[in-house]
Structure 1
Amino acid sequence: MAVAEYITYIDVKIEWSQDLIKTLNAKKGSSKLVASFHDWTGGIRWTSDTLQKKYEAADVFGDIIKLSILSADMYDCHELALFVRNQQAQSPKPVLAVGMGQHGQLSRILSPILFVIHKLLPTPSAPGQLTLAEVHQAQHLIGQVPALDFSLSGPDAKAIVEMIRPGFQELGLPHLCQALEDDEPKDVKGENLGGDAATGFQRYRYESIAEIASDDAQKVGFVDSIVRNRPESAEKSAFVGQNISWRVIHDCIMEAGIEVSAAASSIAIIGDDINKARAACFTAERMGYKAVYLLESKLCQTLAADFPGLDFSSQASKYKLAIICRVDEQEAKHNPLHQILREPFGGVILDLSSAPGSSHSSRWNAIGKRQTTLVRAKLLFQLWTGRNVLDVLMKD
């Protein structure tokens, strides 16, 4: 069944019959076989000939080797680490080695692949399992997860900080996050700085400290956030400039349920904020939109030159998506927006400048600043930690 469903990883015990193992190996396709051995007796050591033979049996057919044995004492974790190091010096094949039980918990903390349990489960599925927060806390104490400082500036900085902090706490991460005023000095070269960002679709004012700019940031035309890239080797860390503003727009559109078929039609962009308009155009291009209907905008020549894949000459009267890219939210009362709201076909209005107002028609699904701020917080958390966090933590 696992092979038929194209499961990515299939756990295969080395004790299974050779005929079954050969059949799985022949039919696995793109699936990876995890050749596994478990021992709960505590009678096998990592230095024993018995375990070496189990490894060799797993190596015959496994794409990945998984060895889990009950740890008899603390020294088992040291022997485990030496066993893995010796095997990987001889073969590039991945080895997952776990010491089960209380004495083996250190192996779970140091493993490059985390074996964790959710904190809401009443009992562990295997002896010695830890939650992700417990693993992170232990890794911090032994110097594997350094405490980093993150900061934000801009109109939504305080709100985003209040969303990010509960995520750090939930995952047991030791990091700090603070909101700074635009004119407040910051130590952008501090060794503990893990990341920094501008909010509200603004350009990051310390853009020059980013040694590298991502492809997305280069194509959108500005950096709005940075993250410190910490290589595993002794190579010096570097700041990477990113643009997540376009991802904010993209994710809001996807959450609104815009159908894929609609992406072949036109999109309306309203307003003259160059950063918002560039992010909106890049998103439209990535999603497959072909025509852009500009309203209240003097940016046609600039945008057309930078996004040649989009047709800016469109005078389309039907579009399922309108993105408001105004500089000032007071301008939102101008007639072109009211004209859109009166259109009978309806669609989605993504307002990047303000919260949806009462003027929005019931035919249009209005998304405003509250949602874009939440999405930006989630994306920054993911960028800075490499982890996802539940929406409910940020919404609360």
Structure 2
Amino acid sequence: NSEKPSLLIIFPARRRHILPLVADVLGQPWAPIERTTDADSLPPSTIAGLAASDCRPSDWAQRTQSRKRSGASRTLIRLRCVDEEDEADWLGSVVDYEYLFASAPFYRRDLARFLSFVLGQVRPHRQLARKARTTFISTTFPDVHAALPNLEILSVGADAVELRVDLLKETLPDGSVAPVPSLAYVGEQLMLLRQRTELPIIYTTRCTAENGRFPMHDPGLFYTYLSKAIQWGCEYIDVELWLPEPIRAALATEKGHSKIISAFHDFSRAWTWAAPRAMELFTQGAVYGDVIKMIALVDSPHENWALEHFRAHLAASSPSPPFSGLNMGPVGQLSRSLNKIFTPITHPLLPMIAAPGQLSAAEINAALHTMGALPRLSFFGLGLGAQAPFYEQCFNELSLPHAFTQLDARGPAALAALLAAPDFGGAVLAPPAPCAGVAAEPTPAARAIGLVDTLIAGGRDGVCVADNAAWKGVRGALVAGSVPSAFSGRAAVVVGGSTGAAGAALFALAQLGAGPLFVYGFEGVVGGVGAAVRGVRGVEDVSVPGGVGAVVCCAGVGNGERAFVEGVLRGAGGSGSGGVFVDLGGKGGLVSRAVGWGWRGVDAEEVDAWTTVETLRLLVGQNVPYDFVRLAGGGG
């Protein structure tokens, strides 16, 4: 996260105002240029901005597909407004990436997510690979607009969202439906989906022979659409194994930070997992695939056990790349519960299932419980108060068999009694407890911060794990509208509150590479944050080269603290610098004042929502999206 990217941004001539916003998301300076060669005179970390109307094909003659993403001095990113006529559509063949946006409204969070991913600063595949079980929801709407009102609910329990490009239906001017949706239409649909979810996107062009609608007579069509998905920053592309080897090889070469799901589907009803062909297809898919997906329509329940034998053999002999294996049809539903890698799920609110026998996340969890693979556990909220019903709601939405109980008991003895219970699953502590008072193994983060807010059963040797989710909530809020490198090497200020509250903020900032870290308004030592922490007495003490990248206010402020915060906000960071102000105290109107001075403002509710997302991931290993947390909590 520490390296500042070197970028050339091509923007629509009528949208020049977007360049400073891009720079603010990146936390880097910017400068307009008139020709591509002008970028050579700028410092590498200064973002060069070139209007699309100023681009000349002759300037780009030497930038071929073979040079893209392979040593060019600046990464080329084109910003394209889908509401306007394309000024220079030929640019699509020379730029590295293309960001699609609408004239209004503009989603800063979407821009930050796109840039973080294509620049390699966020690696969702690494995070998902650490999970014991992953799923994705397949959108089967002919128009993504229909999914948007319920997307927060549809994606509960999912780790990714699949865009079935082949199921999109583009209505032409004469009222007919295009046999294949145009790239322009697909791009707009992808933009709409990505604006409304933080989940990774799986971009799929399923062919007619494998239960899709994309024609098979022109394999080059698949390459055109899949390579565009890479350029649009899709986290995963589904590449069918029947495609010619040169096409699959080209996509693997050009994929950048996107991951390839090598997909094979068999609808013959004659498939058997015991045949040598199963291993042959896995080996073929593993040449270019980051995930291998093999799915067959079967009539015999025996094939479920044959699949599990095949899966166990792969785990012992070929643990990488990860294998997602399923059987379709009613008798294959057992395999959907047993599969642990990218299980496709449906939802009652979807218009159709994407494949025969598909189950919802709730149905899979219920089946796992029936089989004994998901036993009923007891979870507790200590001091949660009004937040406790929300956790119960999430458990119910996921159809988890667990019980969630609100308790007021505190202290080492009460915690020890909970941890000793044979059905203990986990607990949420509010306020957090000192590490020393909890008989559990602290994570490095909890040990560094000194406080525990989440307890999880199932650690090594049966010892419970003590973790801290608060710092992840602060980090989530910080990077929701900025790329991680926006904070690296820049000063940050933490104001007021207790040492514990400050510890979570300081640890989050240190993990993002911020520094030096200044503290004001509280006493105490926060150790293990990985960066020098300095106490300051006034605004003049935080005058540093590069300005202040973040200010976190940890509690309600008095007159002295308020004057200090306002002084820092007025005098450092601000518009065009990527400065972020976080108010965990939630009072005093400081967020609105910070926004008025050019900072991105983050309130306590936003941090609390990100913390809740992280807490649920720790407790039950399942994803409840940020937008659902805000919706269920009344935050909109």
1:208 and 2:433 are equivalent in the alignment: no
Question: In structure 1, what residue type is equivalent to 2:496?
Answer: G
Bigger relative contact order (CA 8 A; separation at least 6): 2
Quote the offset at 1:243 in angstroms.
1.7
Could you report, residue by residue, the CA deviation over 1:268-317 in whole angstroms, capped at 9, with x for unpaired residues? 32225111222222223222332344332333xx3489765344467125
Post-superposition CA distance 1:177-220 (Å, at most 9, x none): 232214484522112211123224x325784321x321212222
SS in structure 2 at match of 1:277: helix
Does 2:336 correspond to 1:111? no
Instruction: For 2:494 and 2:404, locate their aligned partners in 1 and report how far apart those are by CA, in whole Å.
Output: 34
TM-score normalised to structure 2 length: 0.51
Offset at 1:123?
1.2
Partner of 2:280: 57
Structure 1 residue aligned with 2:504: 279
What SS does the corresponding residue of 1:198 show, helix, strand or coil? Answer: strand
Contact 1:207/1:241 (<8 A) preserved: no
Match of 2:367 in 1: 138
Aligned equivalent of 1:43, options 270, 288, 299: 270
1:97 is aligned to 2:325: yes
C-alpha deviations, 1:123-164, integer Å up to 9, x for none?
A: 11211111111111111111111222221223xx12332332
Change in Cα spacing, 1:249 to 1:76, as seen in structure 2 (3 Å) is closer
Could you tell me which runs of 5 or more consecutive residues in structure 1 were left unpaired when the two chains were aligned: none
Following the alignment from structure 2 to structure 1, what is the Cα–Cα distance between the partners of residues 528 and 624? 38
Equivalent residue for 1:355?
Answer: 586
Residue 625 of structure 2 is matched in structure 1 by: 390
2:532 aligned partner:
309
Is 1:148 the counterpart of 2:377? The answer is yes
Secondary structure (helix, strand or coil) at the match of 1:268 reads: strand
State whether residues 268 and 292 of structure 1, in contact with CA within 8 Å, keep that contact through their aligned partners in structure 2.
Answer: yes
Residue 224 (structure 1) aligns with: 453
Query: For residues 499 and 507 of structure 2, what CA distance do their matches in structure 1 show?
Result: 12
| 8 Å contact from structure 1 (residues 160, 374) kept in 2 | no
Residues matched between the structures, number: 373
| CA spacing shift, 1:98–1:228, aligned 2, 3 Å | same
The residue matched to 2:502 in structure 1 has which SS? helix
Q: 1:348 to 1:146 in 2, by over 3 A?
A: same
C-alpha distance in 2 between matches for 1:351 and 1:42: 59
**What are the superposed Cα offsets for residues 14-72 of structure 1, whole Å, 9 maximum, x if unpaired?**
5x5xxx3266358735887766543323234445xxxx142243145221654433221
Q: Which consecutive residues of structure 2, in runs of 5 or more, have no partner in the other structure?
A: 1-222
SS of 1:380's equivalent? helix
User: Structure 2 residue aligned with 1:171, among 384, 395, 398?
Assistant: 398
CA contact (8 A) 1:73 1:103 kept: yes
CA distance in 1, matches of 2:348, 2:603: 34
Q: Pairwise mapping of residues 173-322 of structure 1 onto structure 2 (< 5 A)? A: 173-183=400-410, 185=414, 187-200=418-431, 202-204=432-434, 207-210=437-440, 212-229=441-458, 236-255=461-480, 257=482, 260-261=485-486, 264-271=489-496, 273-299=498-524, 302-303=525-526, 309-312=532-535, 315-316=541-542, 319=548, 321-322=550-551
Q: Deviations over 1:296-346 (max 9, x none)?
A: 2333xx3489765344467125745332334xx4xx233231343365356
- Please list the CA deviations of residues 84-126 of structure 1 after superposition, one character each: whole Å capped at 9, or x if unmatched: 4456566556554322111111111112222322443211121
Q: Is the 8 A contact 1:25 1:61 kept in 2?
A: no
Report what 2:385 is aligned to.
158
The code of the aligned residue for 2:424 comes to: L
- 1:325 maps to 554
More deviation, 373-382/308-317: 308-317
Which whole-Å CA distance do the structure 1 matches of 2:587 and 2:269 have between them?
A: 62
Q: Cα 1:367–1:60, aligned 2, differ >3 Å: closer, same or farther?
A: closer
In the alignment, what sits opposite 2:307? 80
Residues 73 and 309 of structure 1: is their aligned pair in 2 closer, same or farther, counting only changes over 3 Å? Answer: same
Question: Is the Cα–Cα contact under 8 Å of residues 148 and 193 in structure 1 kept in the other structure?
Answer: yes
Preserved CA contact (<8 Å) 1:11 1:36: yes
Q: Is the 8 A contact 1:68 1:99 kept in 2?
A: yes
Give distance in 2, aligned partners of 1:22 and 1:140: 45
Question: What whole-Å deviation, never above 9, does each CA across 1:228-254 have from its counterpart, x for those lacking one?
Answer: 236xxxx84331121222222222333
Aligned 8 A contact 1:270 1:296 in 2: yes
User: Given the superposition, is the C-alpha separation of residues 57 and 192 from structure 1 closer, same or farther in structure 2, using an over 3 Å criterion?
Assistant: same
Give the 3 Å change call, closer, same or farther, for CA 178–338 of structure 1 in structure 2. Answer: farther
1:125 and 1:44 map into 2 onto residues whose CA distance is 20
Q: TM-score, structure 1 length as denominator?
A: 0.78
